[in-house]
Structure 1
Amino acid sequence: MTDRRPRIPRRPDVATLELVGGRERLVVGLHEADERWADTFLEHRRRILDALAPVQVGIEHIGSTSVPGLAAKPIIDILVTVDDITAEEDYLDALLAAGFELRVREPGHRLVRTPARDVHVHLFERDDPAVPEYLLFRDHLRSDPDDRALYERTKRALIARQWDDMNDYADAKTDVIVAIKARARARAARDADPDGGTQ
């Protein structure tokens, strides 16, 4: 039986954004889809599980490299869910000891990455609303060729520009991502109720 009691954080979460190393220019271009990205995810999934054992975590491959056929920056994004984001001693120390480096500490989210910056590990609490949003977007792009093509066109148009901050490039995709997720939610609603609620 699942425990439904509200989770009480061990301590208050951070209140501001800490960006270790400051702003970084976007210097990596798009690469054609590569089947090896899935293998790289599995390799780092095992590395994370080994580092965090016996802590129970969820691990998902997210981002463009998780979508077969989609061109992407060759950076593997991994979503890890933990019970309490404020309990950094349960996960952060172990990941740093395993060779990851802290990049972002902000409310509800931590980001560690490899020294080569080719794997980004995003940490959230299990019930954070960002988690299903990442999975909704990934799963929709995996199954909808039109929106997958739209997203790739958008990325190609944006990557051609110079970006002094990688976060600005990410922000520039927001409108397209919001529109795609709206279609994903509408499709999920139709799939859940194919008769449209009629008898």
Structure 2
Amino acid sequence: MEKRDLVLEDHQAGWAEAFASHERRIREALGPTTQVEHIGSTSVPGLAAKPIIDILVVVADITSEEDYLPQLLAAGYELRVREPGHRMVRTRARDLHVHILQAGDPAADDYLLFRDHLRTHADDRALYERTKRSLIAEDWVDMNEYAEAKTEVITAIKARARRLA
């Protein structure tokens, strides 16, 4: 559990630049063929977001940590989450989360589906932002509780995105 002050900022052009910098760092650590994607609200122009860059890295086998984790730690990231099917490293400043998933994990496809849909559908982008603004005003004991509170809206948006795909 981690209590943090949650704030939303209007979209910043610098978020794409920050992603590009970390993408280079990750590719240097893991190799140029690694799938590295900017995900989360900072990847959607026009969407307010917590100023934390989220990155998706897809690896061949999540359980073969020796193929990716020591390299990411050596590149300056810190391990934050180790759970079945998911690892997460972050910066010491906690302004970036790198989510590591295994190739073929439906969660990886869901991240991209959601991102791409919000980039092209202003109505759902506005709905998601209204939801986040409403929830951010509450006092959350843990960031995970805030994330969980958005699940219903995210699920509905992803269902629309699947129908339109």
- Shorter-chain TM-score range: over 0.9
| Secondary structure of the corresponding residue to residue 34 of structure 1 | coil
Q: By how many angstroms is 1:70 displaced?
A: 0.1
Aligned to 1:74: 51
Give CA-to-partner distance per residue, 1:7-58, whole Å, 9 cap, x none. Answer: xxxxxxxxxxxxxxxx11131300000011001000000000111137x410
Q: Helix, strand or coil: the match of 1:116?
A: coil
Q: Could you say which residue in structure 1 is the equivalent of 2:134?
A: 157
Q: Which residue of 77, 95, 116 corresponds with 2:93?
A: 116
Please say if 1:90 is aligned against 2:67: yes
Residue 128 in structure 1 maps to residue 83 in structure 2? no
Contact 1:26 1:162 (C-alpha < 8 Å) held by counterparts: no
| Alpha-carbon offset, residue 92 of structure 1 | 0.3
Code of the aligned partner of 1:138: R
- What CA distance in whole angstroms lies between the structure 2 residues aligned with 1:185 and 1:129? 13
Identity within the alignment, %? 67
* 1:120 aligned counterpart, secondary structure: strand
Aligned partners of 1:137 and 1:184 also within 8 Å: yes
Aligned partner of residue 79 in structure 1, secondary structure: strand
Q: Which residue of structure 1 aligns with residue 8 of structure 2? A: 30
Whole-Å Cα distance in 2 between the matches of residues 146 and 134 of structure 1?
A: 18
Q: Distance in 1 between matches of 2:50 and 2:35?
A: 24
Instruction: Tell which structure's C-alpha radius of gyration is larger.
Output: 1
Matched residue SS, 1:178? helix
| Residues 33, 65 of structure 1: 8 Å contact kept | yes
SS in 1 for 2:56: strand
Aligned residue-pair number = 165
What is the CA–CA distance in structure 2 between the aligned matches of 1:148 and 1:26, rounded to whole Å? 25
- How do 1:47-62 and structure 2 match up within 5 A? 47-53=25-31, 56-62=33-39
Distance in 1 of aligned mates of 2:83 and 2:136: 26
The answer (yes or no) to whether the contact 1:109–1:124 under 8 Å persists in 2 is yes
What is the CA distance between 1:106 and its match in structure 2?
0.5
Q: Deviations over 1:129-155 (max 9, x none)?
A: 111111000000000000000000000
The TM-score with structure 1 as length reference comes to 0.81
Aligned to 1:148: 125
User: Pairwise CA RMSD of aligned residues?
Assistant: 0.9
Q: How much does 1:96 deviate?
A: 0.6
For 1:73, the aligned partner's letter is K
Q: Is the helix fraction higher in 1 or 2? A: 2
SS in structure 2 of the partner of residue 69 of structure 1: coil
Instruction: After the TM superposition, list the runs of 4 or more consecutive aligned residues in structure 1 that deviate by more than 2 angstroms.
Output: none
The answer to whether 1:174 aligns with 2:118 is no
Matched letter for residue 83 of structure 2: E
